[in-house]
Amino acid sequence: MKTKANNFNLISQQFLDDYAKNQEPIRVNFKKMVEDIKFQDRATHSIHIYPAKLLPNIPYFFLNNHFFVKDNELVLDPFSGSGTVLLEANLAGKNSFGCDSNPLAQLITKVKTSNYDISVLKNILESLKIEIKNITMDGNEKFPDVVNIDYWFLPNIKFQLYAILKTIKTIKDDDYRDFFILCFSNCVKKVSLADSRISVPVKVKVKKETNNFHPFFDESRSKLKNLENINVFEKFTDIVNDNIRRFENKQKITSKRQTTKIVSEDARNLNLPDESVDLIISSPPYAGAQKYIRACSLNLGWTELSGKDNLRTLDKKNIGRENYSKSDYLTLKATGLVEADMLLKEIYIINPLRAHIAANYLLEMKQAISEASRVLKKDKYFILIAANNQVCNREFKTQEYLRQIAENVGLKTMCRLVDDIKSYGLMTKRNKTASVITCEWVLILKKE
Ligand SMILES: C[S@@+](CC[C@H](N)C(=O)[O-])C[C@H]1O[C@@H](n2cnc3c(N)ncnc32)[C@H](O)[C@@H]1O
């Protein structure tokens, strides 16, 4: 570990020296720089799916690197999502703080960074296997408040899911119950009629496919066939066993008991004292890209983290959201960033809503970056990972605008790294007016 830390340390020094000479972005490949670790199988990274997860190689590089952070220092991710940065911080011997507006993200992070007694997890699973046989549903009981439950779930599956949830609720210990709720949540979309290859729920195609032998339709057909006779508890048990194995792996990597805490649900108000954090690493949302709440709506409903009427309220907390009423964009807001404002004026003429989404995104990110800067100690680093986007077929230089915002709140750009992300999880087709992200920018910012 020491050699690796020294090596990353030297590479980082070189990056900063080179950038200081000519201010040119440096091409890198994080997959190659951190190639000896199989992140897919590493610890608990894969306990639950989540949209736009960060490539763990990136935080790994900065967290195992004395140039940026020392042992036992405090790491923050203000947009922590499923907790990729926070878990890697723990594995690197650092305590970490997270913040995310999505309650499912908070639950994934909490479980992912917990330490469980493996034998207790196995014993609980055995007792659930017995308990599930006695579960009944009487006339007064209601299904959880899942959006369009009958559209997304076949009747037999709905009952089976309900029985599993009721069984899990008999677990008395909150932390252990959360582990099983998380496994249950990861089962939900797999047994729904939603296509698991698409982030937001879209029903698997069943019609018009009789003459179509494309693998896409074959997969849909076989999913539907399986769902008719599926034993959901068996599927749930497989997920539990896989996740128990992940916790066993995690314990092999580290015996240290670093902690993680979710400190807030809004990156614009972190509930932390001034200059209290040693390193920030974060991949913020983009304007109108991922629909985090819609993507998780079935999970949020079944885990009872949010009923259907609350989904809108949750979405409103999201920076980069798309849902606005017409009265919100009767005029275009100025962001104070010259290039962005010129572009947004052009876009406003073609599509006022898209212009408003992007402008409001930048204004809200300004608040979040300013808040992150407030809690960061002097002479410490903020690693901001972002990409460019397209809005109405025009390049929207998200990473450049975020960098300008960071500079305006007193952070200095020490280096810009650019990585070709062809095979990363962020490669999703966006709405009609946005396009595919192809490069990830890693901005190394310092509070002076
Ligand atoms: C690109 S994702 C982060 C993914 C994360 N790095 C991971 O590996 O899972 C951006 C996250 O920002 C969250 N978010 C959006 N608006 C927020 C806000 N106002 N405060 C905190 N988090 C927010 C979303 O819920 C989403 O989880």
Per-residue model confidence as pLDDT tens digits over 219-238: 677 778 788 889 999 999 99
| Residue 426 sits in the same domain as residue 279 | yes
Boundaries of domain holding 146: 118-250
Is residue 218's pLDDT more than 80? no
**Does 112 fall in a domain?**
no
Across residues 115-141, what is the average pLDDT?
Answer: 93
| 216, pLDDT greater than 80 | no
Find the 256 Cα to ligand 1 centroid distance in Å: 27
Confidence of residue 204 (pLDDT cuts 50, 70, 90): confident
Quickly list H helices, 169-310: 174-188, 215-229, 232-253, 292-295, 297-302
Tell the residue nearest (CA) to atom 10 of ligand 1. 285
| CA of 422 relative to ligand 1 center, distance in Å | 21
**Residues 10, 155: one domain?**
no
Regarding the beta carbon of 365 and ligand 1, being less than 6 Å apart is answered no
Kindly state whether residues 33 and 98 are assigned to the same domain. Answer: yes
Do residues 286 and 389 lie in contact, with contact meaning Cβ atoms separated by under 8 Å?
yes
CATH of the domain at 323: 3.40.50.150
Over range 382-402, report the average pLDDT: 95
Domain contains 221: yes
Residues 65 and 165 in one domain: no
136 and 204 inside one domain: yes
CA distance 287 to 361: 6
- Judged by average pLDDT, the poorest of 99-108, 195-204, 396-405 is 195-204
Q: Is the pLDDT of residue 129 over 60?
A: yes
Percent of the chain at pLDDT exceeding 90: 80
54 lines ligand 1 (CB under 6 A): yes
Which of the four pLDDT bands, split at 50, 70 and 90, describes residue 1?
very low
Calculate the average pLDDT of the chain. Answer: 91
Q: Is the CB–ligand 1 distance for residue 266 below 6 Å?
A: yes
* Closest residue CA from atom 7 of ligand 1: 53
Residue 150 to residue 155: CA distance in whole angstroms: 7
pLDDT in tens, 44-65: 999 999 999 999 999 999 999 9
Residue 196 has pLDDT above 90, yes or no: no
Q: Tell me which of 203, 233, 250 is where a domain ends.
A: 250
Q: Return d(Cα 88, Cα 192) in angstroms, integer.
A: 32
Which residue, among 402, 411, 314, 322, has the nearest Cα to 363 in the 3D structure? 402
- Tell me the C-alpha distance between 241 and 129, whole Å: 13
- C-alpha distances in Å from residue 186, one per residue of 48, 50, 192: 6, 10, 11
Res 427 pLDDT > 60: no
Structure tokens at 92: 């690197």
Does residue 35 lie in a domain region? yes
pLDDT, residue 215, reads: 56
Q: What average pLDDT does range 150-163 have in this prediction?
A: 96
Same domain as 11, residue 41: yes
- Determine the pLDDT at residue 379: 98
Backbone angles phi, psi at 81, to 5 degrees: 50, -125
Find out whether 116 and 174 touch, Cβ atoms under 8 Å. Answer: no
The residue among 141, 80, 32, 119 whose CA lies nearest residue 263 is: 80
CA contacts within 13 A on the Cβ side of 351 = 15
E strands, 58-144, are: 74-77, 95-99
- pLDDT per residue over 78-94, tens digit each? 999 999 999 999 999 99
Is 79 close to ligand 1, i.e. is its CB under 6 Å away?
yes
| Interval 90-118: pLDDT, tens | 999 999 999 999 999 999 999 999 999 99
Q: Does 401 map to a domain?
A: yes
pLDDT (mean) for 286-313? 94
What is the Å distance from ligand 1's center to 314 Cα?
A: 12
* Residue 233, domain member (yes or no): yes
pLDDT digits (tens, 9 = 90+) for 408-419: 999 999 999 999
Q: Give the count of beta carbons closer than 10 Å to the beta carbon of residue 418.
A: 15
Residue 342 covered by a domain: yes
192, 219: one domain: yes
CA 100–ligand 1 middle distance (angstroms) = 5
Closest to 44 (Cα-Cα) out of 118, 152, 102: 118
- Point out the least confidently predicted range of 81-85, 211-215, 257-261, 279-283: 211-215
Range list of β-strands (E), 345-406: 376-387, 389-391, 394-396
The reply to whether ligand 1 has any atom less than 6 angstroms from the CB of 59 is no
Long-range contacts of 175-180 (CB under 8 A, 24+ apart): 175/114, 175/116, 176/116, 176/120, 176/121, 176/124, 178/107, 178/110, 178/111, 178/114, 179/111, 179/114, 179/116, 179/121, 179/243, 180/124, 180/128, 180/240
d(CA 399, CA 226): 44
- Please indicate, yes or no, whether residues 232 and 263 belong to a single structural domain of this protein: no
Residue 81 CA to ligand 1 center (angstroms) comes to: 5
Domain end among 250, 269, 304? 250
Confidence of residue 38 (pLDDT cuts 50, 70, 90): confident
Q: Is the CB of 61 under 6 A from ligand 1?
A: no
Domain boundary among 250, 265, 298: 250
Query: Range with the lowest mean pLDDT among 132-141, 204-213, 426-435?
Result: 426-435
The answer, yes or no, to whether any atom of ligand 1 lies below 6 A from the CB of 424, is no
Q: What is the tally of structural domains in the chain?
A: 2
The response to whether residue 283 sits with its C-beta less than 6 Å from ligand 1 reads: yes
Are β-strands 439-447 and 376-387 bridged in parallel, bridged antiparallel, or unpaired?
antiparallel
pLDDT (0 to 100) of residue 235: 97
Q: What is the pLDDT of residue 430?
A: 43
Q: How close is the Cα of 222 to the center of ligand 1, in Å?
A: 34
CA atoms of 64 and 247, how far apart (whole Å) = 21
Are residue 415 and residue 271 in the same domain, yes or no?
A: yes
What is the position in ligand 1's atom list of the atom closest to the CA of 317? 19
**Percentage of residues in the chain having pLDDT higher than 70:** 92
DSSP output for 131-146: HGGG----TT------
Q: State whether 128 and 95 are in the same domain.
A: no
CA of 318 to the centre of ligand 1 (A): 8
Determine, yes or no, domain membership for 294.
no
Res 73 pLDDT > 90:
yes
Q: Give 326's DSSP letter.
A: G
Closest CA to 417 of 1, 15, 52, 134: 15
Between the alpha carbon of residue 367 and those of residues 39, 341, 380, the distances in Å are: 33, 17, 20
The pLDDT confidence band at residue 432, using thresholds 50, 70 and 90, is: very low
Q: Say whether both 63 and 147 belong to one domain.
A: no
Residue 366 counted as domain residue: yes
Q: Which residue has the higher pLDDT, 135 or 309?
A: 309
Tell whether 268 and 401 lie within a shared domain.
Answer: yes
Ramachandran class of 248: left when φ > 0, alpha when ψ lies in -120 to 50, beta otherwise:
alpha
Distance 14 CA to ligand 1 centre (A): 31
